[in-house]
Copies of this chain bind each other. A is one copy, B any other.
Amino acid sequence: MAEIKYEVTAKYGVLSTSKSGWTKEVRSISWNDKEAKFDIREWAPGDEKMGKGITLSTEEMRELKKILNGLDL
């Protein structure tokens, strides 16, 4: 399988930590040397593995912010 190159360029915060120590986090990640995108994803302790997640553009983050601010959480 082809290797995916990535670089974490920013860490904005942790949403939760599982019993096994995996964290769900908001970060910015550059994939294959491209411009960094926002990312919400699970990470193993010490960032040794990455789990499932999604990438989001700045515009998508803006829309997400609007939606969250309209919800009674």
- List residues of chain A with CB under 8 Å of any chain B CB: 12-16, 24, 26, 40-41, 52-54, 56-71, 73
Contact = CB atoms under 8 A, between A and B. Distances in A.
Q: How many copies does the complex hold?
A: 2
A26 B64 contact: yes
A73 B62 contact: yes
B71 A12 contact: yes
B68 A65 contact: yes
Nearest to A61: B73
Contacts of A62: 73
A13 B53 contact: no
A12 B67 contact: yes
A67 B16 contact: no
